Amino acid sequence: MSFSFQKNARFMGRFDLTDPEAPRCGWVNSAVFLQFRGNEISMTADDSNGTDYVEVVLDGVARNWIHLDKGIHEYVIDQGLDDKVHTLEIHKRTEILYGGIQFLGFALPKGGEFFAPPEPKKLKLEYFGDSITNGCGNGHPHVLRDAPHLDDGYMSYVGISARMLNAEYHTLAISGIGMLQDAMGNINGLPVHFHGTLGKDTVPWNFSNYIADGVIINLGQNDYSNPIDDEKYIDTYIEFVHDILCKYPNASIFCCLGTMNNNYLPSVQRVVAHFNELGNEKVYCVDLGLIHPEVEGWGGCFHPSAQTHYRMGLELAGFISEKTNWPLLKRPTIATKC
């Protein structure tokens, strides 16, 4: 049975659908969902740089990750499967600076069948951040500065908190970037990327496709690693939140800080106070604290480790649930069969 992205796939994250049968993505955690029956499934994809990795989630279990070579290649995703209906998720683990992926198709052996994709979760979240939000360094020791094969957006605090809240999630994050300025002190903020599908100067994003119920912002680590004009940071932050609320007027906004530094807490508190004083009580400050290296260890180049990301995800999901009454998933009482 032939595969059609329009009939058989669902997307999570911002995809350029200029060619609906050859969707492109770049942001970390962008994902394709499908359902099929067959004992084997393969994927054809075109990777721009050959440095992207994808997470393979089969029947709800993260089973493997695959390195995508540069150019067009076919990849066997899994084989020897039971003859039943399976769900498959392909998540981009690596950030947009490592490249983009164009998905070209999925294939089954003779007799296999594709079905309509699984339904999306009802709750919709959107995350904005830097390398921490990308999951950079969470799978390797800090002596390895760059190791994209061990960066894992799927198991970042983003993926953990969103899945604990049983939510869809979009992630817009770029390593080194800030709200106002980047890690080098240059004026280079994430807000300019908000309106593009794959960032600034790309196909405009259709906001009607995804109305976020909750927005998580974690920007300031890089801004405050250099001298900065606090007032300009605060004004830029306020303008960005106003822009977000124009697109998602009913969203709860969670302004986070941590975990590599938190010296910008007073500035974030002023941003939150601005909206609270205007009568919007759905804008919150979330201090995720600092890395506890004796307990959590360091990730790559002093980034948070997998342990820190788990703690961040747990704390963030708990905070969001407390403020919104969105339920948290319960820990399973029956073991999952792999």
Closest among 213, 215, 224 to 194, alpha carbons compared? 215
- The alpha carbon of residue 150 and the mean position of all alpha carbons in its chain are separated, in whole angstroms, by 16
Residue 299, pLDDT score = 84
Residue 116, pLDDT score = 97
How do beta strands 252-257 and 283-287 pair?
Answer: parallel
Residue 336, pLDDT score = 64
- Note the pLDDT tens digit of each residue in 225-257: 999 999 999 999 999 999 999 999 999 999 999
Q: Is the pLDDT of residue 170 over 90?
A: yes
Distance CA 297, CA 300 (A): 10
Question: Confidence band (pLDDT; 50, 70, 90) for 119?
Answer: very high
Residue 242, pLDDT score = 98
Domains and CATH numbers, the chain: 5-115 (2.60.120.260), 123-324 (3.40.50.1110)
Structure token digits, residue 19: 């060619």
Angle, alpha carbons 101-72-66 (nearest 5°): 60
Residue 13, pLDDT score = 98
**H-state helical runs in the chain:** 5-8, 131-134, 157-164, 230-247, 265-277, 293-296, 306-324
Q: Is the pLDDT of residue 43 over 70?
A: yes
Residue 334, pLDDT score = 79
Q: Which residues neighbour 251 within 8 Å (Cβ) at sequence distance 6 or greater?
A: 212, 213, 214, 215, 244, 245, 282
Q: The pTM is what? A: 0.96
Element housing 338 (H / E): none
DSSP 221-271: TTGGGS---HHHHHHHHHHHHHHHHHHSTT-EEEEEE-SS--TTHHHHHHH
Residue 337, pLDDT score = 64
Question: Confidence band (pLDDT; 50, 70, 90) for 37?
Answer: very high
Cβ atoms 118, 75 nearer than 8 A: no
> By CB neighbour count within 10 A (0-12 exposed, 13-18 middle, 19+ buried), where does 265 fall?
middle
Q: Is the pLDDT of residue 78 over 90?
A: yes
